[in-house]
Amino acid sequence: MKIAVTYENGKIFQHFGHTEEFKIYTIENESIASSEIVSTNGSGHGALAGFLEDLEVDALICGGIGKGAKDALSDVGIKLYGGVDGDADEAVTALLKNELEFNENIECSHHNDHGHEHSCGSHSCGSHESKKYGGITEVTGENFSEEVTGCSDLVVIDFWAEWCGPCQMLSPVIDELSEEITDVKFCKINVDEQQDIAAKFDIYSIPTVIFMKNGKAVDKSVGFVQKEELFERIEKNK
């Protein structure tokens, strides 16, 4: 049996999608026989489940994790123990003793109010200061300045409409990324309801995704794109 832990400096790294290393424990006779630290080699969150499957991992211990990543792990048969923090070795030892405290229903929920409250069930998703956001903010003319131009972090804006088929295809991709990347603000703007904003950004085709930082557009994507491409654009523009 093999157990993987999202890993950073001896601790459980608190965001599955951003982990740069896993510590892999080989278990024999219900005890740790050996362990090694492996680099994800820059694999995006969408590829991490397959990365662990290739390593023949049976179970994963992590902190926060989004719905898309949970589903991907389930699809490859990896048992998830989420919502865990602290020392990695101690967590594995506790799991082997059936004493590990974890959250079966871990799925980060966030509230985009002024305090940017962030919690994951009964467990904290960690103390990283960069984890400010989560979920989608609906932007209108009334809150545009506060939510978009007044934000110094990267803001990803999905311009969409209810009648637009490709928009409906892109929507779950945006939703998943908003759960998994919590140092970026994700917003949606309905072009039918917010025509003035759409005109300001010269939105002629939808879906269009605008990437903004410090109140200025820094990148643009038109049409449906795969999750991996959006992730790469986000990382490039942070």
**164 assigned to active site:** yes
Burial (Cβ within 10 Å: 0-12, 13-18, ≥19) of residue 128: middle
Which listed residue (62, 108, 125, 167) is catalytic? 167
Rounded CA gap, 29 and 166, in Å?
51
3-state secondary structure 149-187: HCCCCCEEEEEECCCCHHHHHHHHHHHHHHHHCCCCEEE
Which listed residue (62, 151, 164, 187) is catalytic? 164
Rounded CA gap, 60 and 222, in Å?
36
Identity at 234, one-letter amino acid code: I
**62 assigned to active site:** no
Which residues are known catalytic residues? 164, 167
